[in-house]
Amino acid sequence: MKRFYEKIVQYKKCLVVLFTFSALLCLWVGQRVAVNYDIADYLPSHSPSSRALEVMEEEFEGGIPNARVMISNVTIAEALEYKEKLARVEGVEAVTWLDDAVNILQPLATLDQEQVQTYYQDNTALFTVTIKEDMRIEAVQNLRELIGEDQAMSGSAVSTAISTTATVSEVQLISVFAVLFVLVVLVLTTTSWVEPIIVLVGLGVAIAINKGTNLMFGEISFVTNAAGSILQLAVSLDYSVFLLHRFEECRQTNSDVKSAMVEALGKSTLSILSSGLTTVIGFLALVLMQFRLGPDLGLALAKGVAISLIIVFTFMPALILLVYRQIDRTKHRPFVPKLQSLGKWVSRLSMPLVILFALVIVPSYLASNANDYYYGASHIFNETTQLGADTLAIEKRFGQNDTYVLLLPQGDLATETKLSQALNELPQVKSIISYVDLAGAEIPLSYLDETTRAKLMSENYSRMVLSVNVPYEGEETFSVVETIRHIANQYYPDDYYLAGEGVSTYDLMKTISTDMTKVNLVAILAVFIVLVFSLKSVLLPIFLVLSIETAIWLNLAIPYFSDTPIFYIAYLIISSIQLGATVDYAILMTDRYRENRMQGSKKEAVIQTIMDVTVSILTSGSTLTVVGLLMGYISSNQLLGQLGLFIGRGAIFSLIIVLFVLPGILYLFDHFIIKSNPVFLTEKEGEEVEEALA
């Protein structure tokens, strides 16, 4: 490695130019990376609802209805006029209303009132709209202009369109605040006015290159787009700071700046790489999820940290050497005082804190696994947003409603009729639009007009459109999906397809529920193995992983005790993110304790370790806390908001446990930590240990 670092130092100007050009290019390319805001698109391709959507796209022109539009104070005739206007909006594929289900030329009093009230009641009309996926933003904006602000619309297409436009501006605002906070933290924790700028430049180059190289994925999810850069900023910050500190230390004993930088790189390689590797592994564990949002986020985050490591070992040394004179000229006194009193306080309270820690492990674990969950996107916008208020208004008038599409092999109208009758008996099914329901099995297909027939019949399939009076997700919804599939399977064994938002959410629930244990176990095991080899110990990795896992359980236990449902996607992702992002703090604490233990007693080692690492840990931890909380409180998207809240709150729990509990654990198990790992110690290290313990 020394020869490699010597080459880095030798070609410093070329490296700075190369990486600067790469960052500018990737910054331009990054603006062209497509972002997907539809959670259902990340279901495994083999899931039943995904396959159903593929078949329907192949067989029929119109998709599944994905929006509801409510118009108040209209007559039947005016509602029909609105239907035509809605259908003419660019991006709208189809509009379904009362006239598609019944003959409205008859008096309303003579019609099936349950069907009528599904679409029209109290002079208020509810239209079911199908919007093209690639034109959701334009179509939703045009629909809003058509109906006005005082009318209401909801649905997955509306939610996706609003997420797309709102998230972009919110992420920009979060990023600005995050950079400003990082700048303040760096000013407080460094000893030169130039050092914060150097660190931010290095982080900016790494983030720009990561965003640009996301082009290799084709598109990224809105979660990755919103959280990726902010998380990369937070978890990679301490790499550059650590290198700067090492460089300053080496310069005190080495007057040649180039050789001092080579020495600093050599001394910091193991610490930075072990820290970065555990973070990368924590993120890569998400790749094992069947739910493809996990691999999307995991690969982008792991790539981001890997790029940050490359930048720290190549671009940053070159940049520091080019501006070290400016660093020297702008030196100032340290703003953070010595923390000896904190070390003494932690040392005195170490045993009570360890006991308290032991008492909360089991309750926090049990509570973290007993939460109520949202699986889909139906609760992403709350009532404080226009979409949330519109959704509530529609549900108050017409109830919670969803639209399912059932595809059946064409040709057996008698069986279709029996199936329709069985489905109509379900209390949650309010209406069915199909050939056998509109015309009847005895009416020839030729009697149906071409437009209507194309909606209900294809070359190979018949289509039933079911209006079901259930929410987009929940126990009742999942039960209805299972019941419809069971009934359809009785008449068409393994030869039917069912699609719809509630159906996709059901499949999503089944998919991601099986991911949790696998992802967590792999992440924990992989991090544990890395720690075993980097710390040359079996016992220490157990303490470190248990410390961070307990912080994760405490983080996820709060929603249980506050009776707050959480998004299962955020629940699933945060475990790997918090483990990967904050286990570094525990590694740094343990490394320094072992170093200090060679110089004095275990009590002195605890005090000195607290003094040595608190500023470094708080620099990274406070940044992760603030950027997470910013995302939590600024994002109108509740999924992103909750994920941000988990990140910020999780960082706080990790900081508390690492700074106040882990020193006590190291103190308590000092004898085993120092002496019970001879297998992993060299002969020289063994002699040093024996001397320290003597």
Summarised one tens digit per residue, pLDDT across range 619-667 is: 888 888 998 899 888 888 888 889 889 999 999 999 999 999 999 898 8
Structure tokens at 106: 């008859």
Same domain for 506 and 521, yes or no, is: no
CB-based contact 335:36 (threshold 8 Å): no
Q: Is residue 360 part of a domain?
A: yes
Strand runs (DSSP E) across 410-512, as ranges? 429-433, 461-468, 497-500
The CATH number assigned to the domain holding 286 equals: 1.20.1640.10
CA dist 63 and 86 (Å) reads 16
Q: Which residues of the chain have pLDDT under 70?
A: 62, 339-340, 439-452, 674-694
Q: Tell me, yes or no, whether 545 and 646 share the same domain.
A: yes
The parent domain of residue 287 ranges over 1-32+190-335
How high is the pLDDT of residue 576? 78
- Indicate if 574 and 670 belong to the same structural domain: yes
- Among 451, 477, 510, the domain boundary falls at 510
Closest among 228, 219, 245, 197 to 308, alpha carbons compared: 228
In the three-class reduction of DSSP (H, G, I as helix; E, B as strand; rest coil), residue 549 is classed as helix
Residues with Cβ within 8 Å of residue 381, at least 6 apart in sequence: 159, 162, 387, 388, 391, 636, 637, 638
Residue 236 lies in a domain: yes
Residues 355 and 444 in one domain: no
Would you say how long the chain is, in residues? 694
Position 286: which residue type?
L
Dig out the tokens for 560 from the structure.
Answer: 């249980």
Q: How far apart are CA 566 and CA 564, in angstroms?
A: 6
Place of tokens 């331009």: 28
Residue 681 confidence (pLDDT): 43
For residue 225, tell me if it sits in a domain: yes
Number of neighbours of residue 193 by Cβ within 10 angstroms: 14
Q: Which one of 510, 528, 556 terminates a domain?
A: 510
Contacts 24+ apart (CB under 8 A), 277-280: 277/530, 277/534, 278/527, 278/530, 278/531, 278/580, 278/583, 278/584, 278/587, 279/235, 279/305, 279/580, 279/581, 279/583, 279/584, 280/305, 280/306, 280/580
Residue 481: inside a domain, yes or no? yes
The residue out of 276, 310, 335 marking a domain boundary is 335
Question: CA–CA separation, 338 vs 332, rounded Å?
Answer: 16
Q: Are residues 476 and 361 in the same domain?
A: no
As for how many domains the chain has, the answer is 3
Contact status, residue 103 vs residue 66, Cβ threshold 8 Å? no
Q: Distance between alpha carbon 232 and the CA centroid of its chain, in Å? A: 13
pLDDT at 648: 92
Question: Are the C-beta atoms of residues 432 and 465 closer than 8 Å to each other?
Answer: yes
pLDDT at residue number 610: 87
Looking at residue 505, what is its pLDDT? 87
Are residues 491 and 533 located together in one domain of the fold?
Answer: no
Residue of 566, 553, 521, 538 lying closest to 650 (CA atoms): 553
Tokens of 142: 């045009």
**Residue 657 DSSP class:** I
Dihedral angle, C-alpha 604, 605, 606, 612, nearest 10 °: 110
Q: Are 441 and 413 in contact (CB under 8 A)?
A: yes
In a 10 Å sphere around its CB, with 0-12 CB exposed, 13-18 middle and 19+ buried, how is residue 227 labelled? buried
Is residue 114 situated within a structural domain? no
- Distance spanning both ends of the chain, measured CA to CA: 36
Do 539 and 497 share a structural domain?
no
Pair (204, 255) in one structural domain: yes
Residue type, 669: F
Sign, CA dihedral 367-370-375-378, equals: negative
Indicate if 413 and 477 belong to the same structural domain.
Answer: yes
Single out the residue of 420, 422, 461, 460 nearest to residue 439, CA to CA.
420
Number of Cα atoms under 13 Å in the Cβ half of residue 336? 19
CATH at residue 453: 3.30.70
Beta bridge partners of 498: 406
Look up residue 157 and give its two tokens: 């297409």
Measure the CA–CA gap between 257 and 43, rounded to whole angstroms: 54
pLDDT of 677: 46
Amino acid at 439: A
pLDDT of residue 445: 56
Gyration radius from the chain CA atoms:
30
Residue 117 has phi, psi (to 5 degrees) of: -70, -10
Return d(Cα 275, Cα 505) in angstroms, integer.
37
Shared domain for 250 and 285, answered yes or no, is yes
Please answer whether residues 311 and 175 qualify as being in contact, where contact means their C-beta atoms are separated by less than 8 angstroms.
no
564-587: pLDDT as tens digits: 998 887 887 788 788 877 888 888
If you ran DSSP here, which 8-state letter would residue 694 be given? Answer: -
Which pLDDT score is estimated for 682? 45
Say yes or no: 363 and 506 in one domain: no
pLDDT of residue 688: 52
In this structure, are residues 271 and 24 in contact, taking their beta carbons and an 8 Å threshold? Answer: no
| 685 and 540 fall within a common domain | yes
Q: Is 66 exposed, middle or buried (0-12, 13-18, 19+ CB in 10 A)?
A: buried
